[in-house]
Amino acid sequence: MFRLMRYLTKRDWLFITLIIGLTVFQVFLVMTLTDYIRNVTTAITYLNYHNHPQDFFTMLEDSGMAGASSLYYDGFEWSVFLSMIASNPLIPEESKAMVTSIANATTGDIWAAAGWMILVAFGMVAVQAIISVFASYVASRTATRIRNELNLKVTSFSLAEVNHFSTASLITRTTNDVQQYQFALLLILRMFFSAPITAIWAVFKIQSVSWKLMIPTIIGIFVLVFVLVFMLVLVMPKFKKVQKLLDRLNGITRENLTGIRVVRAYEAQTYQEDKFVKANEELTKTQLFTGRSFAIVSPLITFIMNGISLAVYWVGAYLVNDGGTTYPEILSMMMLSTQIIMAFMMVLMMFFMIPRASVSAKRILEVLDTQNSILDPETEKETTEVGSVEFRNVSFAYPDASDNTLEGISFSVKKGETLAFIGETGSGKSTLLNLVARLYDASQGEVLVDGVNVKEMKQKSLRSRLGFVPQKGLLFKGTINSNIRFGNQNLTQEEIQNACELAEADSFIQEMDGQYEAKIAQGGSNVSGGQKQRLCIARAIAKKPEILLFDDSFSALDFKTDRKVRDNLKESQKEVTKLIVAQRIGTIMDADHILVLSEGKMAGYGTHKELLENCAIYRDIALSQLSKEELGL
């Protein structure tokens, strides 16, 4: 957990230093307050004896001074009694001082002590408020920095790292886990320094009066420590389970929301609800276990505190009878014992939060310490070509997969050419484009862009050359303009409109409220699948890349729109290299080269006509979609 302290800045450490200093001052005020409470109690007692001297002499007799009451007489004067006491060499100096204090006792003594007590109490409140402000600042700013680091780290992940953690888990780690750590850090800053300083100071203060008064407090501390250790051993594994169950619950919730159309279409609400209820109940049971475990602690602490109070009074009674101390001292020591127990209660609260925060911190560090599988080279190699893509005997296997998804793939495409990929589902078509964009790295062989191995190019430099249209069109919350500008913030309105016209998107944009300033919901849920694809194509075109990657990006378009978009691209993007993954023969038959994939291997490579003659797989696919006449056979 404390490894995350590396995200504290110099200003944070300055605030922590101030917190320590203020904590020492706060404890000093607490100890001073106990002294004033003792002084007030003593002043009240002395004033009572001053006003009722017969009670004073009765107290002397009860303390073992036989015949003391015989010194009391009607018309008693303290000045006469003081002179008698002062002239008696057998009376201890402490007793003489006490008699003098009683003789001089006034109501003003009480008001003076009470006034100082109130002033000290206000000082304690003010110091605690300042400490809370500083602690809140440090905890919240540190949590902000950790969230930023997590976000930067996650955005730098390749698909391999994202799939390793899962999206739901990464969301939980960035939100709930950071929140747990922030709360624990706040408690530590407010209590970690206060508790030991208070306990040590109070122990020495009590010991200065009588070590015997320490015995009940020490026994109470040992009981608390035993309870603490027992609770940690019992509850720590459950905290780990809680965070994993939160990941699972978030995953199910996310699945329900993103797949709500499918869920409703298949009337699967009950099935999905059962999954959620099962995960939710398991999480609830685990949290109830930890909550009930902690519930036992509260009455136990109350029992210990009351037991210590009774024990201190019991020991104190013997000490008062033996003349070892006074009632005001016992009252003061009682307060100090309470402060010690409260200090350990604060430590106990910290240790209830720290285990869960430690689990959260570990999960955060797992993300931050993950080594990216795709790294930039220290020195970027200069490109020798423009708009070219080449695969040299490339093979690829997904992480933890036993078999290769792609094997022995080789091809080359030059600037301005169009290369299409076709094959059965799962043959590795989309994987090829992911390797070009370096979302994964090839397991064997080389992937070259502009004559340079992509591993020798910086990711930013590589992707600045690419315009990528994903298989599942994804739009971001905002406007049409903000989505088209996603890859190039410097686009003019004219350039945006031109890109949309090429993607055949301008026609439906003109009919929307606000047109290019029309609102787009998160994920583009307020536009149709075909509209979403056309906007994604426009976004890629507007970036003005060297290479356009289309991952089955025409599937939601009707044949007429598909043809128009391809004709527009062919006419306006002559200098741009195009790699197209498609299932329709009509979409790819005009491509300069077509690569046929089957089970991750090359089953054919050539033009449309060449493949119809030489590749049985391609011929079968073509005939399943078009007639012989349409294919020219």
Q: What is the pLDDT of residues 180-221, one digit of tens each?
A: 888 888 888 887 777 777 777 777 776 666 667 677 777 777
Q: What percent of the chain has pLDDT over 70?
A: 82
Angle, nearest 10°, between helix axes 269-321 and 327-368?
A: 150
Residue 344 pLDDT exceeds 80: no
Residue 131 pLDDT exceeds 70: yes
**Structural domain of 174:** 2-49+107-368
Mean of the per-residue pLDDT values for the chain?
A: 79
Whose CA is closest to 294, among 343, 240, 245, 352? 352
Three-class SS state of 441: coil
The vertex-8 CA angle with 4 and 13, nearest 5°, equals 130
Is this model's pTM higher than 0.85 or not?
no
Torsion sign across C-alpha atoms 140, 146, 147, 148 = positive
**pLDDT of the residue at 374:** 80
Q: Is residue 175 part of a domain?
A: yes
Per residue in 212-240, pLDDT (tens digit) is 767 777 777 777 777 777 777 777 777 77
Q: Is residue 423 part of a domain?
A: no
Both tokens assigned to 25: 């001052």
- Which phi and psi angles does 24 have, rounded to 5°? -60, -40
Q: Is residue 76 part of a domain?
A: no
Higher pLDDT, 140 or 292: 140
**Most confident segment among 3-7, 13-17, 41-45, 344-348:** 13-17
Whose CA is closest to 385, among 451, 474, 464? 451
**Sequence-separated contacts (24+) of 147-152 with Cβ below 8 Å:** 147/174, 147/178, 149/7, 149/368, 150/174, 150/178, 150/364, 150/367, 150/368
CA distance 410 to 367: 35
**pLDDT of the residue at 210:** 65
CA distance 66 to 123: 47
User: Max alpha carbon distance in the chain (Å)?
Assistant: 140
CA distance 228 to 301: 11
Residue 80 pLDDT exceeds 70: no
Residue 328 pLDDT exceeds 70: no
Q: What is the mean pLDDT of residues 420-428?
A: 84
**pLDDT of the residue at 216:** 75
CA distance 342 to 194: 10
Q: Is residue 619 part of a domain?
A: no
Q: What is the mean pLDDT of residues 494-519?
A: 86
Q: What stretches of 212-305 adopt beta strand conformation (E)?
A: none
Q: Is residue 506 part of a domain?
A: no
pLDDT-derived band of residue 106, with 50, 70 and 90 as boundaries? low
Both tokens assigned to 415: 């600037």
| DSSP classification of residue 383 | P
Question: Do the Cβ atoms of 105 and 50 come closer than 8 Å?
Answer: yes
Number of domains into which the chain is organized: 1
Q: Is residue 28 part of a domain?
A: yes
Question: Do the Cβ atoms of 214 and 200 come closer than 8 Å?
Answer: no
Q: What stretches of 314-388 adopt beta strand conformation (E)?
A: none
Q: Is residue 177 part of a domain?
A: yes
Question: Do the Cβ atoms of 180 and 259 come closer than 8 Å?
Answer: no
Three-class SS state of 63: coil
Residue 601 pLDDT exceeds 80: yes
Cα of 197 vs its chain's centroid, Å = 30
Whose CA is closest to 420, among 174, 302, 597? 597
Q: Is residue 559 part of a domain?
A: no
Higher pLDDT, 633 or 417: 417
Both tokens assigned to 437: 């964009």
The CATH number for 363's domain is 1.20.1560.10
| DSSP classification of residue 391 | E
Please identify which residue in the block is written with the tokens 């030991």. 196
pLDDT-derived band of residue 324, with 50, 70 and 90 as boundaries? low
Both tokens assigned to 553: 């990006």
**pLDDT of the residue at 18:** 92
- Residues in a beta bridge with 419: 579, 593
pLDDT-derived band of residue 99, with 50, 70 and 90 as boundaries? low
**pLDDT of the residue at 5:** 78
Both tokens assigned to 627: 């007639």
CA distance 389 to 415: 8
